[in-house]
Amino acid sequence: MKNKIINILAAFETGNVGKSFPMDYCLPVYHCVSDENLPHIRHIIQYKNTRQFEEDLDCFSKHFQFISWSEFKDFINGNFKSKKKIALLTFDDGFREFYDTVLPVLERKGIYACNFINPAFIDNRELMFRCKASLIIDAAEKVKTTDPEIYRMLSLENPSKENLKQQVLKISYHQRELLDRITEKLEIDCNAYLKEHTPYLTTDQLKSLRQRGYGISSHSWDHPKYGELSLKEQMESTNRTFHYLKENDFLYESFAFPFTDFGVKKDFFDELFKNEDLFCCFGSAGAKLDSVERLFHRIPMEMGESGESILKKETAYFRLKKIINKNKIVRR
């Protein structure tokens, strides 16, 4: 019902997308851009191809002014003025396609982007647990019959490939050992996959990106969902990543939540901002305000729709929530 209402309201957003956008800044977030079939991503992210990505960028360029990290800081501090509303382009997870596919597009168009990475995966040392889930689903789709033991491991009462897929996608960070057991059962060699496909950026590529003027910043150590962690676990993952960034002379002034900031309480932010180097952090709740002053929400762009359509829906939803005074997240 909610989506139907948003779609109806978005249909009335026919004017200038930038002017009607309800905030002075727009923070789009992507994970990957590729024209290839990527088994480790395709079942968890609706990534765009090159043409779709360029169309998004052209839409943003028409209605917003793309800015760099230093300009974003100046904007927040009131020291940067622009003719149009601003946009800061961001990418999460440190996938190799940023270097191979996205970078040439950005350099051709003169657009800056900040990459929020998980150091645990850099240099293809490890595969993120959700990527393992994607590989499992990919493998399960290709076999005629699934080993009944896998259904038992997942405690599935009604065995089917669709139920298997849904159950695998529910496996959490703290249950990730189960994914390792299932990959073993399906004879998926994650280490071999990492070596053959190199899904993540390397240290040399990160340093090259930094030298070319692009941002490399924090996305936690190994991509847990912060709302499911204790405060101690949250800070351990965060601080370990900041140490890595400092050690490698990357951008250690910002932090972007992996998955979502949903369920993260005020005590985490109180602890986080004791770090005097930190300028701000980023959530992914779309066009939203937050009771945490230096938490800025990004708009997920991989929703199976064009960038323009997503912006119109975000605008419509913000206005709808504003009517009932629900367009601001309050942390307790």
105 contacts 81 by C-beta, under 8 angstroms: no
315 token code pair: 């605008």
164 token code pair: 């298997």
- What is the Cα–Cα distance from 313 to 301, expressed in whole angstroms? 12
pLDDT of residue 59: 96
pLDDT of residue 3: 72
Helix, strand or coil, per DSSP, at residue 25: strand
**pTM (whole model) above 0.85:** yes
pLDDT of residue 16: 84
pLDDT of residue 29: 98
- What is the Cα–Cα distance from 331 to 195, expressed in whole angstroms? 42
- What is the Cα–Cα distance from 36 to 41, expressed in whole angstroms? 11
- What is the Cα–Cα distance from 165 to 133, expressed in whole angstroms? 9
Query: Greatest CA span in the chain, whole angstroms?
Result: 62
224 contacts 121 by C-beta, under 8 angstroms: no
193 contacts 127 by C-beta, under 8 angstroms: yes
Residues of the chain with pLDDT under 50: none
Looking at residue 324, the DSSP 8-state letter turns out to be T
- Report which of 31, 326, 70, 105 is spatially closest to residue 213, judged by C-alpha positions: 70
- What is the Cα–Cα distance from 147 to 257, expressed in whole angstroms? 36
Strands (E), 36-133: 65-66, 86-87, 89-92, 113-117
pLDDT of residue 28: 98
- What is the Cα–Cα distance from 199 to 124, expressed in whole angstroms? 7
pLDDT of residue 7: 65
Residue listed under structure tokens 């689903």: 137
257 contacts 264 by C-beta, under 8 angstroms: yes
Bridge-based pairing state of the strands 65-66 and 86-87: parallel
Q: How many CB atoms lie within 10 A of CB 111?
A: 18
